[in-house]
Amino acid sequence: MMNLLLPAPYPYRQPAGRLPWPPLLLGAAGFALLALAVMWWRWGGTVEDSLHYFNTARHLRGELPASELVAPFPYRLLVPAAAAALPGDVRNNFALLNWLLVSAAACMTALSVWRLGLGRNGAIAAGLLLVCSVPTFWYAPYLLVDPGSVCARAAFVLALVSGQPWLAALAGVLATGVREENIVLLFWLLVARQIGWRAGLLSLAAALAWMLAVRWWIIGGLPSYTWVPSMARVAEALRDVRSLASLALAAGLVLPLALLGMHRAPPQLQPFKRLLLLMALPPLYAALSVRVDGRAIWNLYPLLIPFAVAACQPWLERGRAAPDKLRRAA
């Protein structure tokens, strides 16, 4: 119905068959338990900018004055606001919310791969690539908003490969509420003609209205901040062994596989190549202005993992074909 009201010029392929609900629910439970095991050892940590997100949630609870907040972290309001709205301890709420977001992102990434026709083994591999990763162990348990951004991007990808551009627009608006650079998703939807221009402009207007409301009304009066690129910042980043190691470990397996899988990717994934380039621009600009780490690549996982699974598809198909041959021989 929504696709009739908000028509998309892009020729989406409607997925065949119904969702396999029993295996889907079993897989969701498995991903959630695995994510909890991966995240447990660093549960609820606050270091570096995670402390600023934690303080934002405490401010929304009335526990901290606005003078203690540091821009731009309070402007990324959606996840801290959800943590503050839940009953109980804010720290535990924030960590619990991040666990649920990582689990949901794994499920949606797995479902995206299944929708693309890459098979059950491919779907399992996609969820495992997201959960069993260095960023999920190192960053997801901290009180950061990146799990929310990863989850919203996973919803965006799933909506598009499922032929539901209006849901992709909604996911893009929610993603912008988590981190401001996600508004690039909505620009791409419109410019790449993945959605009708009326729906594209409406979603962009909603995202911009939210950003302005947060900055000038909900969280107002903070000192201004600017990110100014400089060669001194680049030189400093090249000497920061910890940040470089974080980037390398986050890229480690997923990025090389994704690059290998781009020529094998299903047709529905081809437009995402340009989106990947666009989504890489904000962290590249940040690298010229401030310190970046592995979260810059982790936020690209929902786009990279389907390509990575496509690279592994021949091996995954052989693994599935062997038991089929044994059953036929029996």
The rounded distance, in Å, linking the Cα atoms of 77 and 1 is 31
Collapse the DSSP code of 167 into the 3-class scheme (helix H, G, I; strand E, B; otherwise coil) and give the result: helix
CA 187 to chain CA centroid, nearest Å: 17
The rounded distance, in Å, linking the Cα atoms of 330 and 324 is 10
Q: What is the pLDDT of residue 26?
A: 86
Torsion of CA 108, 74, 47, 147, to 10 degrees: 0
Q: What is the pLDDT of residue 157?
A: 96
- In percent, the amount of the chain with pLDDT more than 90 equals 59
User: Mapped to the 3 state alphabet, what secondary structure does 75-98 carry?
Assistant: HCCHHHHHHHHCCCCHHHHHHHHH
Phi, psi of 88, rounded to the nearest 5 degrees: 100, -170
Helical packing angle, 197-213 and 165-178, nearest 10°: 20
The rounded distance, in Å, linking the Cα atoms of 65 and 226 is 23
Query: Which residues, given as ranges, of the chain have pLDDT below 70?
Result: 1-21, 319-330
Q: What is the pLDDT of residue 6?
A: 44
pLDDT digits (tens, 9 = 90+) for 63-78: 999 888 988 899 999 9
Q: What is the pLDDT of residue 327?
A: 44
With 0-12 / 13-18 / 19 or more C-beta atoms within 10 angstroms meaning exposed / middle / buried, residue 138 is: buried
- Enter the tokens of residue 325: 């041959």
What is the DSSP-derived secondary structure letter of residue 269?
G
Q: What is the pLDDT of residue 18?
A: 65
pTM of the model: 0.90
Q: What region, left, alpha or beta, does residue 163 occupy, with left being phi > 0 and alpha being psi -120 to 50 degrees?
A: left
Q: What is the pLDDT of residue 80?
A: 96
Task: Show Cβ contacts of residue 73 under 8 Å, excluding neighbours closer than 6 positions.
Answer: 49, 52, 53, 55, 56
Q: What is the pLDDT of residue 230?
A: 77
pLDDT digits (tens, 9 = 90+) for 262-300: 988 888 888 899 999 999 999 888 888 888 889 999 999
